[in-house]
Amino acid sequence: MSKAVLEKLKSKFGAAVLETHSDFGDDTALVTSQSWKSVCEYLRDDATLDFDMFIDMCAVDYPTRLPRMEVVLHLYSTTRRHRVRLKTRVGDEDMDGAEVDSVTSVWSGANWFEREVYDLSGVTFRGHPDLRRILMYPEFQGHPLRKDYPAQKTQPLIEYRTEADAGVPLEKQAPFRADEGMSFGRMDWLHRNDEENPTALPKGVVRAIKPHEQNGNHDPRAEHAEPAQTLPTPNQKDVS
């Protein structure tokens, strides 16, 4: 993969290009958020680069480092057939200052992608013609793809029916029982730093939280669970 794109970027923008790499064959450049729009315009307008197609924009949340939110842009040139990934980092712990220039004036296809980034991650785009939620409904509070948004926190638009209305049980089992599913190897973002959490571990170490332990509830289904398979595991607790 030719590094021509990255070399040109570095020579034109110098200090604004903070890092580059080509891991897994993808040319990537991390730029400052102030230079975001000018880098994009240069990539589109330069005759040898000619990035005429905006492919994708998304945001990735890295809450353990600041700035926290990384906006990632993929570009493609239909004439030169090369690609580049542009990244920039915005936002502090509470996502203040998570603002970057909109590139809808550079590629009109960026419109909805930026709306989606705003909707799911909360990054605002200066100069966007119509920045409002696209996948979530307007009454939704918060930004779901942030790491600190709990995946199961619903905000229903209409009140759920109760068993009294229905006359029949409405609670159904979640797909996995307490002893099934991937209870190992997933970090519990919500409580990772809690002092009072007796199960909190030193930073950098991951530990599994079984689903029914998260709320401190005893899972009633665990009483009916079959004895766990006798697989070798260091932390096996009896589910009974």
Partner 1 sequence: MAPTNTLTLEGSEKGFATTRFDALLGWARKYSLFAYPFVTACCGMEFMALTSPRFDIARFGAEAPRFSPRQADLLWVVGTISQRQAPALRRIYEQMMEPKYVLAFGTCASCGGFYDNYTTVPGIDKVIPCDVYVPGCPPRPEAVLDGLMLLQDKIARGDRTPAIVKPRTDPVPGLVQLRRGDDQLTIDEREARMKAEKALRDLGRGIRHE
Partner 2 sequence: MEPIDLELEEGELELPAEPMHLNMGPSHPAMHGTVRIVLELSGETIVKADVQIGYLHRGFEKMCERGTWAQVFPYVDRLNYVSPMLNNVGYALAVEKMCGIQVPDRCQWYRMALGELARISDHLTCTGAMAMELGAFTPFLWFVKAREMVWDILEEETGARLTHSFGRIGGMAAPPTKDFKELCHGALKQIIHIVEEGEKMLLKNRIFIDRLENVGIISGKDAVALSWTGPCLRASGVAYDVRKAHPYLKYDEVDFEVPVGKVGDTMDRFLVRLEEIRQSKRIIEQVLERMPDDGPVNVNDPRVILPEKRDVYTTIEATIQHFKLVMEGAKVPKGECYSYTEGGNGELGFYLVSDGSGTPYRVRIRPPCFPITAGLSKLITGNMLSDIVPTFGSLNMIGGECDH
Distance CA 240, CA 238 (A): 6
Residue 43 near partner 2 by CB under 8 A: no
- Write down the least CB distance from residue 193 to partner 2, Å: 18
Residue 214 near partner 2 by CB under 8 A: no
Residue from the set 88, 95, 101, 113 that interacts with partner 2 by CB under 8 A: 113
Residue 206 near partner 2 by CB under 8 A: yes
Interaction site with partner 1 (CB under 8 A): 136-137, 144, 149-158, 160-161, 166, 168, 170, 172, 174-175, 229-230
* CA distances for 85 relative to 7, 40, 72, 73, 142, angstroms: 14, 11, 7, 6, 27
User: If binding means CB under 8 A, how many residues of this protein chain bind partner 2?
Assistant: 44
- Measured from the CB atom, is 1 or 170 closer to partner 1? 170
- Write down the least CB distance from residue 70 to partner 2, Å: 9
230 binds, among partner 1, partner 2, none (CB under 5 to 8 A by kind): partner 1
129 binds, among partner 2, partner 1, none (CB under 5 to 8 A by kind): none
Please check whether residue 102 is in contact with residue 127, taking contact to mean a CB–CB distance below 8 angstroms. Answer: yes
* CA distances for 238 relative to 84, 220, 227, angstroms: 51, 15, 8
Distance CA 143, CA 138 (A): 11
- Write down the least CB distance from residue 157 to partner 1, Å: 5
Cα atoms found within 13 Å of the Cα of residue 162, Cβ hemisphere only: 1
Q: What residues between 139 and 158 interact with partner 2 by CB under 8 A?
A: 144-145, 151
Residue 36 near partner 2 by CB under 8 A: no
17 binds, among partner 2, partner 1, none (CB under 5 to 8 A by kind): none
- Write down the least CB distance from residue 212 to partner 2, Å: 15
172 binds, among partner 2, partner 1, none (CB under 5 to 8 A by kind): partner 1
Q: What residues between 47 and 66 interact with partner 2 by CB under 8 A?
A: 52-56, 58, 60-61
- Measured from the CB atom, is 26 or 176 closer to partner 1? 176
- Measured from the CB atom, is 101 or 179 closer to partner 1? 179
